[in-house]
A and B are shown apart, each in its own frame.
Chain A
């Protein structure tokens, strides 16, 4: 059974960048889309973008275009999300999640496997 294990909590200054990792173990990595979803304290879920590792092309929610970069390293079965120009409103738990089925062209599907979440705090 595939598991997604994320990197640890981060504290960042406003204006800086953060890069969170998500390592897959126990199954196939390249042929399933991986997305990033964030959740601000006490708020709902917000999709940021996703990528299909075997193709390497990411797609992003309009809100995050130009500020987020999603990449993968197939050699280590790891996905990354990097968010730049951080502000206090970016304080949230960031989750990676795997789509249950590869539905082309962008790989969007329901998420059947989730990482444990990474808390990112933006504070001066």
Chain B
């Protein structure tokens, strides 16, 4: 099973700042089958990025994904008030697993 480790656990930032979230896999994720989700309290997750770098429908371009192999990054270029939430990475290249999440909180 591919284990995904997300860091940091919590990111404290102010609106307008840049957020950089990391997702590291225990083995290479084939064909960059890596997705990112946003989850707000009491809501279902929302797909942001698939295929490591493709934005899902309706996702603003301040969200971007990059990486390959075992190291992946989600970047939020300028944080908006609605971006403070928990973010999960997921790999679907070998079975399917999720990372433990990164909470982006207001500083």
Residues facing A in B78-96 (CB within 8 A) are: 88, 90, 92-93, 95-96
Instruction: Report the nearest A residue to B98, measured CB to CB.
Output: A45
Most buried by B among A37, A95, A115: A37
In the complex, the answer to whether B92 meets A116 with C-beta atoms within 8 Å is no
Query: Is B45 a contact of A114 with CB atoms below 8 Å?
Result: yes
A10 at interface, CB cutoff 8 A:
no
* Residues of A close to B51: CB separation below 8 A: 110
In the complex, which residues of chain A have a beta carbon less than 8 angstroms from the beta carbon of B101?
Answer: 44-45
B45 pairs with A100, CB closer than 8 A: no
Q: Measured between alpha carbons, how far is A61 from B69 in the docked complex, in Å?
A: 23
What's the Cα separation between A45 and B100 when bound, in Å? Answer: 7
* Chain A nearest Cβ from B104, distance in angstroms: 15
Q: Are A47 and B98 in contact (CB under 8 A)?
A: yes
Contact between A110 and B45 (Cβ–Cβ < 8 Å)? no
> Residue A53 at the B interface, CB < 8 A?
no
Collect the chain B residues with CB atoms within 8 Å of residue A112's CB: 47, 50, 56-57
Known A110-B47, A114-B45; contact A44-B100, beta-carbon cutoff 8 A? yes
Most buried by B among A110, A114, A116: A110
Given A44-B88, A47-B98, residue A110 in contact with residue B44 (CB < 8 A): no
Taken together as a complex, chains A and B put the C-alpha atoms of A102 and B1 apart, in Å, by 21
Nearest CB of chain B from residue A97's CB, rounded to whole Å: 8
Contact status B96-A45, CB under 8 Å: no
Contact between B45 and A108, CB atoms less than 8 A apart: no
The answer, among B1, B39, B90, B95, for a CB contact under 8 Å with A110, is: B90
Given contacts A44-B88, A45-B39, A97-B44, 16 further A-B contacts (CB under 8 A): A44-B99, A44-B101, A45-B37, A45-B45, A47-B96, A62-B1, A100-B56, A106-B95, A108-B96, A109-B33, A110-B92, A111-B90, A112-B56, A112-B57, A114-B44, A116-B44
Interface on B for A, CB 8 Å cutoff?
1, 33, 35, 37, 39, 44-47, 50-51, 56-57, 88, 90, 92-93, 95-101
Chain A interfacial positions (CB closer than 8 Å to B): 35, 37, 44-47, 50, 59, 61-62, 95, 97, 99-100, 103, 106, 108-112, 114-117
